[in-house]
Structure 1
Amino acid sequence: MPTISRWTRTASATATIGTVVAVALAAVPYFAARAETALIDLFLFVALAGLWNLLAGFAGLTSFGQQAYLGVGAYALHLYASAGVDPAWGVLLAAVTAALVSLPVSLLVLRLTAGYFAVATWVVAEVLRMLATVSPRVGGNTGVSLPGAGRHPLVLWHAITYWWALGLMIASVIGIGLLMRSRFGLDARAVHAEPLAAAAAGVAVGRVRRVAYLLAALGTGAVGAVLFCHHLYVQPSSIFGPQYSVYMLFMVLIGGIGTIEGPILGALLFFALQQTLAGYGAAYLVVLGAVAMLVTLFAPRGIWGAVSSRWDVSLLPLGYRITAS
């Protein structure tokens, strides 16, 4: 008789190893503080890739403007810190602010689909960038430093930022995984596959897309605030820069869109390439482009998609598995 399951021994081993690795990473500030800076970048890359995959890979919303909420999160943190809020805790308020800003935006952009939606999200990001550029309260085009960070010793501040980045990475992986294993995940994948059929089956397509958009904005706003904590300075042309959307697109498509493992793998590959080739100037971008083209040609579902289909392996399964008993 066939057996239906949603979990495997491989998934149990993955969860166990992941827990051990997370505990070890949490202790890095105590024994390997020099690695904090690079690891913060890696953790934020994983979080951004997972959040963009939530939109494009699961809800079918290809956004070219998620940097809008990076900027909102960063500048919201500046405003809260200027008002006296400890920036170490202001990250939470900045994330909520990004989600609140995304609500009225979603009422406009979610009326569009496909390429129109993608372009609209980029326009929103550009509008917010221009608003920050002409606003003297947030430093205008020259940017601003983070108030209140100096109330913590520098070593402790670096550790706090590191733990925030690690927490965001873990929350994005676990949170999106649990979300996609829920009823909402089934609805989102149905909407992604065929919105009209999903609507005919009773799925609230608009609600699913709006929830995904708001959650992605919430997480991206938190990442923007932590980026501000990391660099202690923010400027409209950098935090609202389209390069962040390019990074997210690259990581998800290279790793494997529509999976939990793919964005993690893509972020690791992107981080490795960045660390290895960043000193070569334009050659770095050429190599990234070449890698993207090769993977698109020979592994359209991404590296993890090719691996999972070839060997029928899933480290973090989302659907049901039928096996013969």
Structure 2
Amino acid sequence: MNRAVEVRHHLVSRQTNGGRLALSLAGAALLLMVSMPWWADAGLTRSVVEFSCYLALAAMWNLLAGYAGMVSIGQQAFLGVAAYGLFALAGHFDVDPFLAAGLCLVVPVLLAVPTYLLLRRLEGPYFAIGTWVIAEVCRLVISNTEWLGSSSGMTLRAMQQYSLEQRQMGVVWMAAIMLLLTVGGSYWLLRSRFGLALTAMRDNAVSATSQGVDVERLRFLVFLAAAIGTGLVGAVYYLSALRLSPNAGFDPNWIAIAIFIVMVGGIGTLEGPLLGAVVYFTADRLFSDYGVTYMIALGLLTLVVALYARGGLWSITGGRLGWHWFPTRWWLRSGR
């Protein structure tokens, strides 16, 4: 008697149907964003740029804390110094503002290297407090530097050479590039050979070291990348705002926003910051007029999520349903 033998092949793949759909939607969103100067008004363009800055800032903090295990509460230092680098290049050296937005990223690099060398032996809360001290030192130094406008700040007068339409076009295109480098760069990094090393380092640095991961080098590179990405957020945001002061550029609210977005959305995931950014941006638009009550509500929401859903909203929505918008692991699939 002949037996029918069913041969089942197993396929190893990193991409999923949900991932393909998410990438298609992300690409369409970027194309729509790039085309905004031809159909969107100034208010909508400003809102999209602001949302992009929040998302990029959260993505960088998530990479730093959620994967490299370095909890920083002083990332506003890199945001502020990059913004001041932009204003100084454009205001004092007559560099085109859009070109200066790229060149000013040298400044957070110059700050990040000695900062890491100074704080690299610190762990946990000591490292976090150290980063906050660095940010405060930067704020105080710039507040007392007359060349940078002291405490009154600076105005980006060089943008007057462009019309309103040209400014909107340049800023929204810079924001699109920022998203590609920060959010897209995080996705690419976690899918590269460094992604597994980062995950292992986050879970247990000692164990990762025993498996051959150069934890010290990888932490430095992630710290440097997060500093550059955060600096790019500062450049794009204040390129649009046209006005900068020490209290604004080094405002602790920047890191509070990043922590809220990542904690509520889901730390250590690529989908979490996107979900958290939507929640924060929507709440900010609807309830910011309530002032202190609004901030208390955001704080309580963060506390509730930290206590009862440590994986963030993504863990109780897409994560629980097995959705993978931006998969980074390998998946074993059966086929014929």
Per the normalisation by structure 1, the TM-score is: 0.97
SS of the residue aligned with 1:62? coil
Q: Which amino acid letter does the alignment assign opposite residue 201 of structure 2? A: V
2:82–2:235 CA contact under 8 A, matched in 1: yes
Tell me the residue number matched to 2:12: 4
Tell me the residue number matched to 1:256: 266
Distance 2:89 2:118 in 1: 27
Identify which of 155, 161, 166 aligns with 2:165: 155
- Greater displacement, 5-14 / 54-63: 5-14
Tell me the residue number matched to 1:190: 200
Distance 1:19 1:227 in 2: 22
CA positional deviation for 1:281: 1.5
Tell me the residue number matched to 2:4: none
Tell me the residue number matched to 1:21: 29
SS of the residue aligned with 2:104? helix
Distance 1:29 1:203 in 2: 46
Tell me the residue number matched to 2:75: 66
Distance 2:175 2:318 in 1: 28
CA positional deviation for 1:2: 4.0
Tell me the residue number matched to 1:43: 52
Task: Decide which structure has the larger Cα Rg and report it.
Answer: 2
CA positional deviation for 1:309: 3.6
SS of the residue aligned with 1:148? helix
2:119–2:130 CA contact under 8 A, matched in 1: yes
CA positional deviation for 1:97: 2.1
Q: Which amino acid letter does the alignment assign opposite residue 288 of structure 1? A: L
Counterparts of 1:138-217 in structure 2 under 5 Å? Answer: 138-217=148-227
1:78–1:147 CA contact under 8 A, matched in 2: no
Tell me the residue number matched to 1:301: 311
Q: Which amino acid letter does the alignment assign opposite residue 3 of structure 1? A: L
2:181–2:229 CA contact under 8 A, matched in 1: no
Q: Deviations over 1:17-70 (max 9, x none)?
A: 211121112111211123111111101001001010110011111100000001
Tell me the residue number matched to 1:75: 84
Q: Which amino acid letter does the alignment assign opposite residue 235 of structure 2? A: A
Q: Which amino acid letter does the alignment assign opposite residue 124 of structure 1? A: I
CA positional deviation for 1:104: 1.4
Tell me the residue number matched to 2:234: 224
Q: Which amino acid letter does the alignment assign opposite residue 34 of structure 2? A: A
CA positional deviation for 1:241: 1.1
Tell me the residue number matched to 1:126: 136
SS of the residue aligned with 1:322? strand
2:33–2:172 CA contact under 8 A, matched in 1: no
Number of matched pairs: 325
CA positional deviation for 1:171: 2.3
Counterparts of 1:276-295 in structure 2 under 5 Å? Answer: 276-295=286-305
- Greater displacement, 54-63 / 27-36: 27-36
Q: Deviations over 1:186-227 (max 9, x none)?
A: 111111110111111111111110000000111111111112
Distance 1:184 1:279 in 2: 43
Identity among equivalent positions (%) equals 34
SS of the residue aligned with 2:317? helix
1:74–1:228 CA contact under 8 A, matched in 2: yes
- Structure 2 gap ranges (5+): 1-8
Distance 1:214 1:220 in 2: 10
Distance 1:230 1:102 in 2: 25
- Structure 1 gap ranges (5+): none
Distance 1:228 1:64 in 2: 21
CA positional deviation for 1:296: 2.1
Counterparts of 1:307-322 in structure 2 under 5 Å? Answer: 307-322=317-332
Distance 1:131 1:72 in 2: 11
Distance 1:85 1:105 in 2: 28
Supply the RMSD in Å over aligned alpha carbons. Answer: 1.3
